[in-house]
Structure 1
């Protein structure tokens, strides 16, 4: 019965690690989306400049 504590602790650490990993992925995805939008704006400005 004492081993169940270790089993619970292991599962808790695995789930915690998984949630931290998913959270970091979502932050990276948000940052990349913002960077893509900035690049689109910059590209549109450059294309508008070339047309002038």
Structure 2
């Protein structure tokens, strides 16, 4: 795999820094809820990618 594909773009680095600033102000309970929701969304994203790959004919 191309290692550059695993790196964040400059725009993504900026978005991550901004996101980190926003997360710093969350309470512990809100942070937990946020992490659970983020993980749920990652699983949905995995399902969408898996479905797209399956319907495109790639194995």
Shorter-chain-normalised TM-score: which range? 0.5 to 0.7
User: Which protein has the larger Cα radius of gyration, Structure 1 or Structure 2?
Assistant: 1
Give the match's secondary structure for 1:20. helix
Could you list the runs of 5+ residues in structure 1 that have no partner in the other structure? 1-12, 46-52
Could you list the runs of 5+ residues in structure 2 that have no partner in the other structure? 1-25
TM-score (norm: length of structure 2): 0.52
State the structure with bigger RCO (CA 8 A, min sep 6), 1 or 2: 2
1:30 alignment partner, one of 18, 36, 43: 43
More helix by share: 1
Which of structure 1's runs of 4+ aligned residues deviate more than 3 A?
A: none
Deviation at 1:37, TM superposition (A): 0.2
TM-score (norm: length of structure 1): 0.59
